[in-house]
Amino acid sequence: MPSPLDGRKFWIAGIGGAGMSAYALLARAWGAEVRGWDRTPTAYLEQLAGIDVEISDDPPPPPEGWEAFVSTAFVERVRGKTRAALLGELVSLRDSIVVAGAHGKTTTSAMIAFCLEESGRDPAWLIGADVPQLGGNAGTGEGWLVVEGDESDRTIAALRPRIAVVTNVDLDHHATFGSRAEVAELFESWLANVPAVVNGEELPPYDGPLAIAGRHNRRNAASALAALELAGMDRDEAAGVLAEFRGAARRLEHRGRVRDAEVYDDYAHHPAEIAATLEALKNGGRLLVLFQPHLYSRTRHLAAELAVALATADVVAVTDVYPAREQPVEGVTGKLVVDALSDLRPGMPVAWTPSVDEGARFLAGQIRAGDRVVTIGAGDVDRAAEALLETLG
């Protein structure tokens, strides 16, 4: 049988991103010829051996006769079809499970793919983070296609899976949505076109054995098991496999031990996610946090809520905003969070450390035996964990 994309030529702008790199890998496995461009090298490009990737500050024009697909980060610089169009086509070519929601979709989709893979069902998967037990963020098996969906740019509206999972509904992308009700409306409209639906907010937390901590992960597990049952997997079989799942990169990831303190890293960037991460890490000792706010729009709207979530820690340093796809907004910096936290917890050790390196140095001077240290944020704050281990090790 011919591959479903035989004869197609895809040129991908932003091919080094977590999502687009995965789409590129699967598109090539399904027969397309793939090339691409990105502004900087990324770790995700290592899995794209054999794909021609150009790295340059400015995007080149797409090759003549090739279909151009453009990452959300570069839509204002490059003409072409959206990433939603590419993902929508991939989802349409296979029986698919799409996991969406404000929080937990990476872990939940990884759980589903892991259970299918370990039980011999040969899935394909497209997940927005590296999953060590799966060997990466993309797989090209012949079974179910498991996809981490995204509402940040309304991508999920273009997806037509057989099974949809919504882990939860929350307002996380203030540049796209004006209210939580608007997010809920998007999900409701999308789910109307899906044959089978899992609503994670209606499920009790899973109470079986799990190798990863946190009540939020028990909710993720409940959603994953419900989806696997809809896909035809026996629940007891799925639960037995799920007990061996050890998580995705940057999700409560243990990075090492230094001076009798444990160092973790987490992708949390919304107040609800930060609160869940800190709750999972509490063990009776001190909890030290380096937080990097993500996006000016989110920081402007949620500075007070971010401070409330961080207030459960014992020592906090906050860096400046990681801009990602946004342009700076006058008066919006990480110091908004610092000021709100200082008002909320007078006397608490709180530091305004605009750079990640400054934050790492501050925490290095605070660490004591028995502490737990966590770097939190969706930008590049994770490099501080490695810096702490190298500096103090």
| pTM listed for this prediction | 0.89
Distance, CA of 251 to CA of 276 (rounded, Å): 11
For residues 156 and 129, the answer to whether their CB atoms sit within 8 Å is: no
- CATH 3.40.50.720 domain locations along the chain: 9-83
The distance from CA 175 to its chain's CA centroid, rounded to whole angstroms, is 18
Distance, CA of 211 to CA of 251 (rounded, Å): 13
Q: What's the mean pLDDT in 177-201?
A: 93
Closest C-alpha among 116, 128, 104 to residue 22: 128
What number of other Cβ atoms are within 10 A of residue 215's Cβ?
11
What number of other Cβ atoms are within 10 A of residue 65's Cβ?
7
Taking the domain 94-242, which CATH number applies? 3.40.1190.10
What pLDDT shows up at residue 333?
A: 97
Distance, CA of 269 to CA of 283 (rounded, Å): 22
* Each residue's pLDDT tens digit, 204-238: 999 999 999 999 999 999 999 999 999 999 999 99
* Each residue's pLDDT tens digit, 329-358: 999 999 999 999 999 999 999 999 999 999
To the nearest whole percent, how much of the chain has pLDDT over 70?
Answer: 99
Q: What is the DSSP string of 250-268?
A: TSSEEEEEETTEEEEEE--
What values do phi and psi take at 176, rounded to 5? -105, -40
pLDDT-based confidence at residue 154 (cuts at 50, 70, 90): confident
Q: Is 213 helix (H, G, I), strand (E, B) or coil?
A: coil
Q: Which amino acid is at 98?
A: V
Q: What's the mean pLDDT in 11-36?
A: 95
What pLDDT shows up at residue 2?
A: 61
Distance, CA of 353 to CA of 60 (rounded, Å): 37
Closest C-alpha among 45, 212, 55 to residue 137: 45
Q: What's the mean pLDDT in 308-328?
A: 95
* Each residue's pLDDT tens digit, 299-313: 999 999 999 999 999
Does residue 6 register a pLDDT over 70? Answer: yes
pLDDT-based confidence at residue 72 (cuts at 50, 70, 90): confident
The distance from CA 221 to its chain's CA centroid, rounded to whole angstroms, is 16
For residues 4 and 140, the answer to whether their CB atoms sit within 8 Å is: no
Closest C-alpha among 233, 164, 151 to residue 195: 164
- Distances, alpha carbon 222 to alpha carbons 192, 213, 367, in Å: 22, 14, 36
Tell me the CA end-to-end span of the chain in Å, nearest whole number: 55
CB neighbour burial string for 243-276, b if at least 16 within 10 angstroms, e if fewer = eebebbbbbbbebbebeebbbbbbbbbbbbbbbb
What is 9-83's CATH number, 3.90.550.10, 3.40.50.1820, 3.40.50.720, 3.40.50.300? 3.40.50.720
- CATH 3.40.1190.10 domain locations along the chain: 94-242
* C-alpha triplet 97, 99, 102: angle, nearest 5°: 170
Measured over the CA atoms of residue 354, residue 356, residue 362 and residue 366, the dihedral's sign is positive
Distance, CA of 205 to CA of 212 (rounded, Å): 14
The C-alpha torsion from 77 through 15 and 250 to 357, rounded to 10°, is -50
- CATH 3.90.190.20 domain locations along the chain: 253-392
Q: Specify the CATH class of 253-392 in words.
A: alpha beta
Distance, CA of 68 to CA of 115 (rounded, Å): 34
* Each residue's pLDDT tens digit, 74-128: 988 999 999 999 999 999 999 999 999 999 999 999 999 999 999 999 999 999 8
Measured over the CA atoms of residue 275, residue 276, residue 278 and residue 279, the dihedral's sign is positive
Alpha helix segments (H runs only) across 119-177: none
Does residue 55 register a pLDDT over 80? Answer: yes
